[in-house]
Amino acid sequence: MMMLFLFFMSLASHASSKEQHIKSIFILAGQSNMAGRGGVVNDTTTGITTWDGVIPHECRPNPSIFRFSANLSWVEAREPLHADIDLEKTNGIGPGMPFANALLTNSAVGAIGLVPCAIGGTNLSQWERGSFLYEQMIRRAKAASLDVSRNGGSITGVLWYQGESDTTSIEDAQSYKDRLETFFGDLRLALKYPMLPIIQVAIASGAGPYMERIREAQLGVELLNVRTVDAKGLTLEPDRLHLTTPSQVRLGEMLADTYFQFISSSISNHAPRKRRPCLIIHFVIGFFWKLLTS
């Protein structure tokens, strides 16, 4: 009897494993504002930065939100999401948790797996194919996907927020658009997902004088299945570089709204369509009719 009990307990434990519940995986990459600096305060006297520990309702843990840890295992997602990834910096509130919590309002998304990869202070060149950060991101993304693929889960999107570090050099600013589009293409190629949804954030601040050049490049990207959320207008911390906690919450909600647009487009593209005359044929017929009757 005891053996039978242990057998069923084993089955129940296996059925409730994290990997079996995760349906949608999102990669979170870029620099500090993606890693999260909301609530991070710098003591100008000591030079020590600390996080205030305030967690808004929109960033609360949820049994359906998981995080892929630095040691490549799924754990319950909690703020700060990048605490074991962006190790050299003090991490606070980012857009990841409010994004995931907002997505849970749509049952089609299912349980969510977040894969933190952002590192503060990084230039786009540090994310190019073959670089350490690029390879680490791809390795983490593939490992996360492998864990859930047997149960129908997959990578469904990338959140990208980077560019502040590229505002210090005119050369970086001028080449940013080409380098960014190449990066998105390489990322999709490495993950074998040519139409992978990517949502990038247009920066609201910069470390140098070329912020508008970077924003122009970001807003000018016209790749298929790449959409841009503009952070301009969101409130910054006193350092004038990082988004405040309320701004990160709002950004996460904006990212979720944008992802819902991907879902709506997908449903629309696969919905049955009524048979209707081809507009091109009507145009051609009308064109020749005008020639014959003129």
Q: Which of 145, 147, 242, 247 is catalytic?
A: 242
178 is catalytic: no
Q: Return the closest-CA partner of residue 59 out of 98, 26, 103.
A: 98
Task: Retrieve residue 77's tokens.
Answer: 């997602």
Q: Which of 24, 32, 145, 165 is catalytic?
A: 32
Q: Which of 52, 178, 239, 257 is catalytic?
A: 239
32 is catalytic: yes
86 is catalytic: no
Q: Is the peptide bond before 95 cis (omega within 30 degrees of 0)?
A: no
Enzyme catalytic residues: 32, 239, 242
